């Protein structure tokens, strides 16, 4: 499943240094000698890149991060940092900044002392420390908070301090383990942009772990989608959303209608799939073998259109659907339909002026292009 | 407790609201008080009252004024600089006669004997010969016992006729009154309590330090091992709690005595010669070894309860920020465990200075604590006033340590598990 370095459309183009900054080579990890938590993880990270490890809990993404930080040793495989193997290197010699899930700010030290810690252990002079702490605190907009204790700060401020502490000693690589998990929604979005801004300002390489797909899509240059210890797909946010490689990625990233059936015919860029309920659907073969193989069709809700009387010709898939439920969401409408043997078929329509007003029980015509309907693994 | 609009309580100025609130919570308070009342009564009877009784006994001084009322009265106009006159001696004879008949001269004779040796025989001997004694009493009594012809005997009786005395406290810190009423140290060869207090404190301090050094890593393991192994370890830590104190102490005798397990093994291994067996019990080593073992859980549990609240991510953060393992421990983990160290330390130290059985059994002569002298004065010398004074000093020291601890750390930090 693991893909070698897919070309990322939004990867920083200016990176002169083409050598790979950090690499996981065939890394495996087992805690009990019975089960593999990480099964053959490969990832190449370029300098200045923002890479997110995304997956449900227990998928092995945090373990990978901990192996990079040095808190876990790989059972097999190698981790390289700037072309140097670091498997045997203790955490404090790696020079990697890390932001922890619950920030791990030292409660008995003030904010300034927390930031000074990594500088003190590196033997910087008092003046240098003072200056760097001040600069870094200003960078995260907490210039006046140096004398406070972590407990006197709000969650968002603690988050900023944790970020500042991971950055203050100017590491080349910063790891973040679900850093925004404890914040409420608004603050989380604010911090996403903040981290993104700092990443762009400093040009530091970041590896970010989250289970929140929106967060991953917003922030990352590339995303590695984890499931069950394996990277399902490694690609830019656009590619992940538009062109998922398999059913898990399609399901995990964004909303997705799933139709299950069997391939009956495959001709070049299209194939015909007979659903279990009997309908024939034209789809784009992505991860199917030939006729006779089982497949899951993935179709984004916003790529399905409601048809008028005469525009049926535009789509190669047209079906009659019954409206089951309409949910008003302000900027768009979610309509649940019964079509192609599924009761959970979702249709998203923008709340444009003069949109169709649908009622439950009504029969409508819906259609989609075969190019938007991806035939993935079963 | 909502009030109807017509009720007088619904004024808006706030005070009646307080009244109604107080009324609402009063019932709850009474209920709570009733629930704790059995324990409260038990504590008052079995704990608070004995302590006050002890404090009272350490200064109470009724013996002389009870047994020799007429003598005390007759001494009121005495100048205190020369032997008293005939009426005082007559009063003493009368008091001794009454006392001899009532057979209650024992208390006063011991009381006076604490302060001036020879007074027991002076009082008791004179009382026995009283039937043969004729006036004038002054010469007759001095004939009967030389003590009555000494000025300090009478100064003593006058001083100890007061209802309260500090002489027990003075004795507890190896001081005494001179006959003229000044406070001086007792002669060197009689000094015993101060050295014992000092020994009790430094040995308790050492025991506290040892429990800390031994208990810290165990508490760390308890707090950081996976639950299953931590539980097993916890059982091992608590095991001493489930074993009788006497069993634990006597086990140490079996291990450490000169014909004991450890010495036998050492001799068998050729580490020491048979005639050079180590003396590890009935001395300070015995007391320190056994008490460190017995008090270890009291250090481990408060440490553990503090360490359990320190997330492992703190140490990880320190390491990832570039701290070497020991430096990270010293700068991050250790400061966070100080409340546990203080709580365990104060607990072990306070328990230790009041420990009795273990030093009594394995301490020999050199490993005894001040508590063993309290017991001695309670059971053997029967000088309860002195026992009470020593105990009160211990109580005072404990309170001082407790207050220092509360000031620095806060009592609410003490948890056992």
Structural domains for chain B: 8-57 (no CATH), 63-165 (no CATH), 193-413 (1.10.3720.10)
Q: What pLDDT is stored for residue A109 in this prediction?
A: 94
End-of-domain residue from the set A247, A270, A287: A247
- Render the burial of B80-108: b for 16+ CB within 10 Å, e for the rest: eeeebeebbbbbbbbbbebbbeeeebeeb
Cα–Cα distance for residue pair A48/A44, rounded to 1 Å: 12
Is A121 in CB contact (< 8 Å) with chain B? yes
Question: What torsion do the CA atoms of B121, B122, B124, B130 make, to the nearest 10 degrees?
Answer: 140
Q: Please give the span between the terminal C-alpha atoms of chain A, in angstroms, as a whole number.
A: 15
- A174 and A272 assigned to the same domain: no
pLDDT at B221 over 70: yes
Please list every residue in chain B whose beta carbon sits closer than 8 Å to the beta carbon of residue A117: 318, 321, 323, 331-332
User: Range with the lowest mean pLDDT among A10-19, A207-216, B138-147?
Assistant: A10-19
Cα–Cα distance for residue pair A237/A221, rounded to 1 Å: 7
Please list every residue in chain A whose beta carbon sits closer than 8 Å to the beta carbon of residue B335: 108
Our CA-based measurement puts residue A354 at a distance from the nearest CA of chain B, in whole angstroms, of 55
Cα–Cα distance for residue pair A154/A139, rounded to 1 Å: 18
B337: CB partners within 8 A, 6+ apart: B216, B303, B306, B307, B310
DSSP string, B18-30: HHHHHHHHHHHHH
- A113 and A149 assigned to the same domain: yes
**A118 in a structural domain:** yes
Verify whether the Cβ–Cβ distance B323 to A70 is below 8 Å: no
Which H or E run includes B245? helix B245-256
Best to test chain A binding among B310, B313, B315, B322 (most A CBs inside 10 Å)? B322
Verify whether the Cβ–Cβ distance B331 to A92 is below 8 Å: no
Is A92 in CB contact (< 8 Å) with chain B? yes
Is A170 in CB contact (< 8 Å) with chain B? no
End-of-domain residue from the set A230, A247, A264: A247
Our CA-based measurement puts residue A91 at a distance from the nearest CA of chain B, in whole angstroms, of 5
Verify whether the Cβ–Cβ distance B316 to A104 is below 8 Å: yes
Is B226 in CB contact (< 8 Å) with chain A? no
- A217 and A354 assigned to the same domain: no
- A62 and A148 assigned to the same domain: yes
Beta bridge partners of A374: A284, A298
B339: CB partners within 8 A, 6+ apart: B306, B409, B410, B413
pLDDT at A10 over 80: no
Instruction: Read off the CATH number of the domain in which A292 is found.
Output: 2.40.50.100
Q: Which position has the higher pLDDT, A116 or A361?
A: A116
CA angle, A354 then A359 then A364, to 5°: 80
Place of tokens 């969401």: A329
Best to test chain A binding among B310, B311, B316, B317 (most A CBs inside 10 Å)? B317
Q: What pLDDT is stored for residue B417 in this prediction?
A: 53
Place of tokens 């989250």: A210
- A210 and A81 assigned to the same domain: yes
- Two tokens, residue B9: 């309580």
pLDDT at B322 over 50: yes
- Interface A-B: count of C-beta contacts within 8 A: 68
- A322 and A194 assigned to the same domain: no
Contact between A287 and A250 (Cβ < 8 Å)? no
Beta bridge partners of B184: B176
- A67 and A208 assigned to the same domain: yes
Cα–Cα distance for residue pair A6/A239, rounded to 1 Å: 10
Cα–Cα distance for residue pair A94/A207, rounded to 1 Å: 15
**Band of the pLDDT at B137, cuts 50, 70, 90?**
confident
Q: What pLDDT is stored for residue B82 in this prediction?
A: 86
Closest residue in A to B337 (Cα–Cα): A108
**A229 in a structural domain:** yes
Domain that holds residue A339: 256-376
Q: What pLDDT is stored for residue A127 in this prediction?
A: 94
- A237 and A276 assigned to the same domain: no
Contact between B315 and B328 (Cβ < 8 Å)? yes
Our CA-based measurement puts residue B412 at a distance from the nearest CA of chain A, in whole angstroms, of 18
Question: Per-residue pLDDT tens for A27-60?
Answer: 999 988 888 889 889 999 999 999 999 998 888 8
Is A150 in CB contact (< 8 Å) with chain B? no
**A8 in a structural domain:** no
Verify whether the Cβ–Cβ distance B332 to A92 is below 8 Å: no
> What distances in angstroms separate CA A143 from CA A3, A146, B106, one per listed residue?
44, 7, 81
Instruction: Read off the CATH number of the domain in which A88 is found.
Output: 3.40.50.300
Verify whether the Cβ–Cβ distance A169 to B321 is below 8 Å: yes
**Band of the pLDDT at B7, cuts 50, 70, 90?**
low
- A35 and A76 assigned to the same domain: yes
Give the ipTM: 0.80
**Band of the pLDDT at B2, cuts 50, 70, 90?**
very low
Please list every residue in chain A whose beta carbon sits closer than 8 Å to the beta carbon of residue B319: 70-71, 90-92
pLDDT at A356 over 70: no
Which H or E run includes B141? helix B137-144
Verify whether the Cβ–Cβ distance B325 to A90 is below 8 Å: yes
- A226 and A266 assigned to the same domain: no
Closest residue in B to A118 (Cα–Cα): B321
Question: Per-residue pLDDT tens for B367-413?
Answer: 889 999 999 999 998 899 999 999 999 999 999 988 988 888 776 76
Our CA-based measurement puts residue A118 at a distance from the nearest CA of chain B, in whole angstroms, of 5
Q: What pLDDT is stored for residue B145 in this prediction?
A: 87
CA angle, B298 then B301 then B304, to 5°: 145
Beta bridge partners of B164: B60
pLDDT at B20 over 90: no
**A220 in a structural domain:** yes
Question: Per-residue pLDDT tens for B159-214?
Answer: 888 889 999 999 999 998 888 788 888 888 888 899 999 999 999 999 999 999 99
What is the average pLDDT score of chain A? 86
- A269 and A162 assigned to the same domain: no
Our CA-based measurement puts residue A101 at a distance from the nearest CA of chain B, in whole angstroms, of 9
Is A118 in CB contact (< 8 Å) with chain B? yes
Verify whether the Cβ–Cβ distance B321 to A94 is below 8 Å: no
Q: What pLDDT is stored for residue A11 in this prediction?
A: 42
Q: What pLDDT is stored for residue A137 in this prediction?
A: 92
**A6 in a structural domain:** no
Our CA-based measurement puts residue A17 at a distance from the nearest CA of chain B, in whole angstroms, of 26
Of A91, A105, A106, the CB nearest to B320: A91
End-of-domain residue from the set A247, A275, A296: A247
- A344 and A215 assigned to the same domain: no
B331-350 residues touching A, CB cutoff 8 A: 331-332, 335-336
**A81 in a structural domain:** yes
Of A96, A101, A108, the CB nearest to B320: A96
* Helix and strand counts by DSSP (H, E) for chain A: 8, 20
Which H or E run includes B34? helix B15-43
> What number of residues does chain B have?
417
Q: Number of structural domains, chain A?
A: 2
- Two tokens, residue B294: 């017995």
- Render the burial of B4-31: b for 16+ CB within 10 Å, e for the rest: eeeeeeeeeeeeeeeebeeeeeeeeeee
**A5 in a structural domain:** no
Q: Please compute Rg for chain A using Cα positions.
A: 24
**A240 in a structural domain:** yes
Question: Per-residue pLDDT tens for B97-127?
Answer: 898 888 888 889 989 988 888 899 888 888 8
Please list every residue in chain B whose beta carbon sits closer than 8 Å to the beta carbon of residue A95: 322
Q: Please compute Rg for chain B using Cα positions.
A: 31
Closest residue in A to B333 (Cα–Cα): A106
Our CA-based measurement puts residue B351 at a distance from the nearest CA of chain A, in whole angstroms, of 30
Is B321 in CB contact (< 8 Å) with chain A? yes
């Amino acid at each position: 499943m693991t893909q070698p370095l897919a070309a990322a459309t939004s990867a920083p183009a200016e990176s002169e240094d083409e050598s790979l900054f950090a690499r996981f080579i065939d890394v495996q990890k087992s805690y009990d000698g019975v089960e593999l938590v990480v099964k053959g993880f490969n990832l190449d990270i370029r300098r200045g890149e923002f890479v997110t490890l995304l997956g449900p809990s227990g998928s092995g993404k945090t373990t990978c991060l901990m192996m990079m930080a040095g808190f876990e040793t790989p059972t097999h495989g190698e981790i390289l940092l700037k072309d140097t193997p670091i498997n045997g290197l203790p955490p404090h010699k790696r020079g990697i900044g890390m932001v922890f899930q619950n920030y791990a700010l030292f409660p008995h030290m003030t904010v300034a002392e927390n930031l000074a810690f990594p500088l003190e252990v590196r033997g910087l002079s008092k003046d240098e420390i003072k200056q760097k702490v001040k600069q870094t605190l200003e960078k995260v907009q907490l210039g006046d908070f140096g004398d406070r204790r972590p407990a006197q700060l709000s969650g968002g401020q603690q988050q900023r301090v944790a970020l500042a502490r991971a950055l203050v000693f100017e590491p080349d690589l910063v790891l973040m383990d679900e850093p925004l998990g404890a914040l409420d929604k608004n603050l989380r979005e604010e911090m996403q942009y903040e981290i993104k801004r700092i990443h762009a300002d400093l040009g530091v390489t970041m590896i970010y772990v989250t289970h929140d797909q929106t967060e991953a899509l917003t922030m990352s240059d590339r995303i590695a989608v984890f499931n069950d210890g394996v990277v399902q797909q490694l690609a830019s946010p656009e590619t992940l959303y538009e062109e998922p490689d398999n059913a898990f990625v399609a399901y995990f990233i964004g909303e997705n209608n799933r139709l299950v059936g069997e391939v009956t015919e495959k001709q070049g860029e299209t194939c015909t799939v007979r659903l279990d309920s009997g309908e024939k659907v034209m789809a784009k073969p992505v991860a199917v073998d030939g006729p006779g193989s089982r497949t899951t069709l993935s179709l984004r809700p916003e790529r399905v259109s409601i048809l008028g009387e005469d525009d049926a010709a535009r789509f190669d898939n047209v079906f009659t659907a019954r409206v089951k439920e309409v949910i008003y969401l302000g900027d768009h409408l979610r309509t649940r339909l019964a079509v192609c043997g599924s009761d959970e078929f979702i249709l998203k329509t923008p709340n444009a002026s003069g949109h169709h007003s649908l009622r439950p029980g009504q029969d409508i015509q819906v259609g989609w292009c075969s190019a938007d309907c991806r035939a993935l693994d079963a | 407790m909502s009030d109807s609009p017509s009720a007088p309580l619904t004024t808006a100025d706030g005070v009646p609201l307080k009244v109604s609130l107080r009324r609402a919570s009063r019932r709850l308070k009474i209920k709570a008080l009733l629930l704790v009342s059995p324990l409260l009564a038990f504590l008052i009877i079995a704990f608070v009252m004995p302590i006050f009784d002890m404090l009272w006994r350490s200064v109470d001084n009724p013996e002389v004024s009870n047994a020799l009322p007429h003598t005390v009265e007759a001494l009121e106009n005495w100048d205190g600089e020369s032997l008293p006159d005939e009426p005082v001696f007559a009063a003493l004879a009368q008091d001794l006669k009454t006392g001899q008949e009532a057979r209650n001269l024992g208390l006063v004779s011991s009381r006076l004997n604490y302060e001036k040796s020879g007074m027991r025989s002076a009082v008791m001997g004179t009382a026995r010969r009283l039937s043969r004694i004729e006036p004038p009493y002054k010469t007759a009594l001095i004939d009967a016992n030389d003590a009555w012809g000494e000025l300090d005997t009478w100064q003593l009786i006058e001083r100890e006729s007061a209802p309260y005395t500090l002489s027990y406290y003075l004795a507890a810190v190896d001081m005494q009154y001179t006959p003229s009423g000044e406070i001086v140290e007792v002669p060197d060869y009689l000094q015993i309590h101060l050295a014992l207090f000092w020994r009790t404190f430094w040995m308790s301090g050492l025991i506290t330090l040892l429990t800390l050094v031994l208990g810290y890593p165990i508490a760390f393991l308890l707090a950081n091992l996976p639950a299953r192994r931590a539980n097993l370890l916890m059982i091992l830590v608590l095991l001493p709690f489930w074993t009788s104190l006497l069993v634990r102490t006597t086990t140490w005798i079996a291990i450490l005595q000169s014909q004991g397990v450890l010495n036998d093994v050492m001799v068998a291994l050729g580490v020491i010669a048979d005639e050079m067996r180590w003396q590890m019990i009935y001395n300070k080593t015995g007391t320190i070894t056994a008490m460190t073992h017995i008090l270890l859980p009291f250090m481990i549990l408060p440490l553990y309860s503090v360490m359990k609240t320190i997330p492992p991510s703190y140490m990880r953060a320190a390491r990832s920020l570039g701290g070497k393992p020991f430096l990270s421990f010293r700068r991050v983990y250790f400061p966070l465990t100080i409340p546990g160290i203080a709580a365990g330390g104060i607990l072990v130290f306070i328990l230790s200075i009041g420990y009795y059985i273990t030093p009594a059994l394995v301490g020999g002569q050199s490993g005894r604590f001040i508590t063993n002298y309290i017991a001695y004065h309670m059971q053997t010398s029967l000088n309860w006033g002195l026992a009470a004074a020593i105990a009160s000093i211990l109580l005072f020291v404990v309170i001082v340590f407790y207050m220092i601890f509360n000031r620095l750390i806060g009592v609410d930090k003490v948890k056992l598990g």
